[in-house]
Amino acid sequence: MALAKPHELLDTDDVYIGQWFARERDFVVISWAAPAADAFYGHGADADLLGDVQVTRAFTARGDDIVGYDDERRDSGEGETAFDRKVALVVPRPPQRAVRAQSNGGQPAVPAPRGASSFKPPQPRSAEPEPGGAVTRAIAKPSGPRPSDAAALRHKNALLRTLAQPRRAGLDQVLATLQPRQHDLVKWDAARPLVVQGHPGAGKTIVAVHRAAYLVHPDREGAAIRGQVLLLGPTDNYVQHTARAVHDLAPRGGVIVRSLDQVFRRLIPELDVRGGAGDGRPETYRDFDLGLVELVESATDMVRRRGALAGVQTRTEAARVIYQEMVGKALVAPSDWVPYLRSLPDWGTALRTQRLWPLLAYCALASGMHRFAPPGHVIVDEAQDVRPIEWRILRHLVREEAGWTLVGDMNQRRSDHSSMSWQQSLELLELPTDTHVEDYRSVFRSTSAIHRFASFLLPRHERDRMTVQEEGSKPVTWRVRPADVAAAAVTEGAKLARDHRGGTVAVIGVGVGPIRSAFAMQGWRARAAGSDEFSDGELTVRVLAADAARGLEFDGVVVVEPSDFPKNLGRHGLLYTSLTRANRSLAVVHSKALPDELRRAPADRLDQ
C-alpha cells in the first residue's frame, strides 16, 4: 500500500499487509486484522488512512512464489507513487554447503549430499506474534458505510488469476483478494449474531474461516472474546479442507475446527460406523425432533431418582443407562412416540447407526458429565443442514453469552428434517429472529456456465447471481448404458484430471462403491485403506459420496446419476450442492433420465 507521504506513526510511505505485524529495517507489515489495514480493503474504520492512500497492490502467488501483481490507483492521480521508486537490489551471499571432514586416509573431503546444508532455517515465531500496538490501532477513525451489493470488485485482475489457478488440496487464505463485502462480514461485531446466506461459490467458507481467525486475532479492535472460536463444518473432510487457512491466519489454539460428527464423538468416543452395519432403517424427522429431547430429559430424571447413575464413571456408560431407560419405558411415553421408541435398536447397534448419533450425544449431555471449555463464539458453516436436536446440543455446549455466526444456503438443504428458514434456526438457538441476514449473491468459485446449468434446479426467482468467472466451457452430460456408468465415471474423471494437472478432481455420487471398484479394476489405487483418493501413479481423483463433498471445491467434478440424488420438499438440495463443487469443469455421467429441470439446462450432450 503506497501513501502520498510518510505517516507519522508508520514512518514510511509504503507498507505491507500480512498475517502479523512486523517492523524490519526496510519495511513495515501491518496485520490484516488491525484497523489500519482497512485502508487496503477500501472501507471500514480507517478506509482511506486519512486520505493518504495512492495505490494498493495485490500479489498473486503460486505456492511460495509470487507470480504476478495487480495495482489499483486510489487517488485518481497519474503521477509517480512510492511503488515507482527504484531501490538497489542487494542479493546476499548464498550459504556455504557443509562438507564432510577428511578421512584418516587423507582423501579429499566429499561434498555434502544434495539438500544437506549448514544453513539453519529461522526459528518458528511464537504462538502469539507481537501485536501491532499503537501503530496499528491509533490511526482508526469512525466507521464508514458498509459496501453495497453493487460494490465493485477490488483487484479484479489478481482475483481472476487466483480463481483460474489449479485448486490445491485445501483452502488457502485470501488476504490479497478479500473483497470489501467479505471483509465487512469478517469484521462484523462479535457480540451481534449474523447469518450469511449465499449461493454456492460465494465465498461463504472464506468468510467463515477469516472471521474465525479475526475474532481471536490480537491486533483486532474491540474487547477480546471469552474463550476460543469454534468453527463447525459439515464433515470431517471440511475440517481437513480448512486446516491450512486457519493455521496461517489464527493464533495457535485460538480456533477449533470440528465437524458435527466430531462433536458427537467427543461426547461418546465409541461412536463408530466402521464397527459394522447399523440398524439399516432410513432416517425420519423423529430422529432429530425436539420431542426426543423431552423424552431424554424425562428418562434422565427417572434414572437420577432411582440412583442409577451413582457410581457411573464415564459419559458413555451414563448415556447407555439413559438410552436404555428411554427405550425400556416406551409404553409409558406419549402415544405418538411409542412406535418410534419401540423401533430403536440395542445400545451396541445404536453406536453404529449414524442417524442416532445426535440422540446418543444428547443422552451424554443430559447426564451432566461433560466438562468442556465452552467457546466464546461459534461459526457454523453449511448451517442449513443442522437439525433441531443438533442445534439444541450446540446450545448446551456454548456459554450463554457466546456469539453466533451462521453461514449457508437454504437452497442447498439436503434433508427435510432441518430448518426451512433462517428464522427457524435462530429460534432453535434462542437468538433474536430479527438477526441480520446478509443475502450474498456474488459467485466467485464456479464459472458462469456451471452455475447457469446448476441453477435450473432452483425456482426461477432464486437464480439471480453475479458470476465473476464469465469464461468457461459448457458442462457436459454423457448418457451411457446402465452397465457402463461406473467405467464411464472413471474415464471422465481421468480426462478431467489430465485437463487440470496440478489441480483437484472429484467424482461425486450417491452410491460410490461401484465407482471405487471400477477405479481399482482399471489400475487405480487408493492412497490408503478406506481412502477416497485414487491414483494411477500420475493422476489423482477423489471419489466422494455426495454428503462428504459438502463444503469442498475442485477444479473438475464428475457427478454420477443425478436422478439417484434424494429430493427434499420438491428441491434438489444435495444435487445442487454436488454440481456446484466444480470451479472450471463439470461433467455428468448418467444412464437414467436426468431430472426434468436439467434436461432444459444448457450443456453439451453426448450419448453412447
pLDDT tens for 503-529 read 999 999 999 999 999 999 999 999 888
Question: Are residue 344 and residue 408 in the same domain, yes or no?
Answer: no
Contact 439, 198 (CB under 8 A): yes
Question: Are residue 309 and residue 323 in the same domain, yes or no?
Answer: yes
Sequence letter at residue 129: P
Question: Are residue 81 and residue 38 in the same domain, yes or no?
Answer: yes
Question: Are residue 349 and residue 493 in the same domain, yes or no?
Answer: no
pLDDT tops 80 at residue 97: no
Inside any domain, residue 108? no
pLDDT tops 60 at residue 150: no
Question: Are residue 425 and residue 317 in the same domain, yes or no?
Answer: no
Instruction: Choose between 223 and 549: higher pLDDT.
Output: 549
Question: Are residue 243 and residue 385 in the same domain, yes or no?
Answer: yes
Confidence of residue 595 (pLDDT cuts 50, 70, 90): very high
Percent of the chain with pLDDT over 90: 57
SS3 state of residue 375: coil
The Cα 74–Cα 42 span in angstroms is 9
Confidence of residue 134 (pLDDT cuts 50, 70, 90): very low
Inside any domain, residue 309? yes
List residues bridging with 467 in a β-sheet: 443
Inside any domain, residue 120? no
Inside any domain, residue 109? no
Region label for 44, one of left (φ > 0), alpha (ψ between -120 and 50) or beta (otherwise): left
| pLDDT of the residue at 90 | 67
Question: Are residue 493 and residue 547 in the same domain, yes or no?
Answer: yes
| pLDDT of the residue at 274 | 73
Helix or strand holding residue 589 (H, E): strand 582-590
pLDDT tops 50 at residue 102: no
The Cα 42–Cα 151 span in angstroms is 11
> Considering 443, 461, 493, which residue would you say is the last residue of a domain?
443
| pLDDT of the residue at 265 | 95
| pLDDT of the residue at 318 | 96
Provide the H-helix boundaries in 7-81. 38-41
| pLDDT of the residue at 145 | 45
Inside any domain, residue 312? yes
Average the pLDDT over 88-110 and give the result: 51
Contact 319, 418 (CB under 8 A): no
* Residue 390 CB neighbour total at 10 angstroms: 23
Q: Find the range with the poorest average confidence among 135-149, 480-494, 545-559.
A: 135-149
Domain containing residue 255: CATH number: 3.40.50.300
Give the total number of structural domains in the chain: 4
User: 111-131, pLDDT tens digit by residue?
Assistant: 333 333 322 333 333 334 444
What pTM, to 2 d.p., does this model score?
0.84
Confidence of residue 6 (pLDDT cuts 50, 70, 90): confident
Q: How confident is the prediction for the chain on average, in pLDDT?
A: 86
> Considering 318, 339, 366, which residue would you say is the last residue of a domain?
366
pLDDT tops 60 at residue 246: yes
Closest CA to 164 of 602, 467, 450, 503: 503
Nine-digit cell string for 185: 462480514
Closest CA to 574 of 445, 454, 412, 420: 412
Q: Which residue has the cell 458453516?
A: 381
SS3 state of residue 258: strand
| pLDDT of the residue at 525 | 94
User: 179-216, pLDDT tens digit by residue?
Assistant: 989 999 999 999 999 999 998 888 999 999 999 999 99
Inside any domain, residue 119? no
189: domain range? 168-267+371-443
Inside any domain, residue 102? no
Contact 369, 318 (CB under 8 A): yes
Confidence of residue 138 (pLDDT cuts 50, 70, 90): very low
Question: Are residue 56 and residue 80 in the same domain, yes or no?
Answer: yes
Confidence of residue 87 (pLDDT cuts 50, 70, 90): low
Question: Are residue 41 and residue 131 in the same domain, yes or no?
Answer: yes
Which contacts (CB < 8 Å, 24+ apart) does range 28-32 have? 28/135, 30/132, 30/135, 30/136, 31/131, 31/132, 31/136, 31/217, 31/219, 32/175
Q: Find the range with the poorest average confidence among 24-33, 101-110, 221-230.
A: 101-110
> Considering 398, 427, 443, which residue would you say is the last residue of a domain?
443
Inside any domain, residue 31? yes
| pLDDT of the residue at 86 | 67
Q: Find the range with the poorest average confidence among 31-35, 438-442, 556-560.
A: 438-442
Ranked by mean pLDDT, which of 36-40, 444-448, 582-586 comes out on top? Answer: 582-586
pLDDT tops 90 at residue 140: no
Helix or strand holding residue 267 (H, E): helix 260-267
Q: Which CA distances in Å does 237 have to 141, 438, 541?
A: 41, 26, 15
| pLDDT of the residue at 192 | 94
Percent of the chain with pLDDT over 70: 88
Question: Are residue 456 and residue 513 in the same domain, yes or no?
Answer: yes
pLDDT tops 70 at residue 292: yes
Ranked by mean pLDDT, which of 136-140, 436-440, 482-486 comes out on top? Answer: 482-486
| pLDDT of the residue at 518 | 96
Question: Are residue 30 and residue 163 in the same domain, yes or no?
Answer: yes
| pLDDT of the residue at 147 | 47
pLDDT tops 70 at residue 172: yes
| pLDDT of the residue at 341 | 96
Question: Are residue 361 and residue 284 in the same domain, yes or no?
Answer: yes
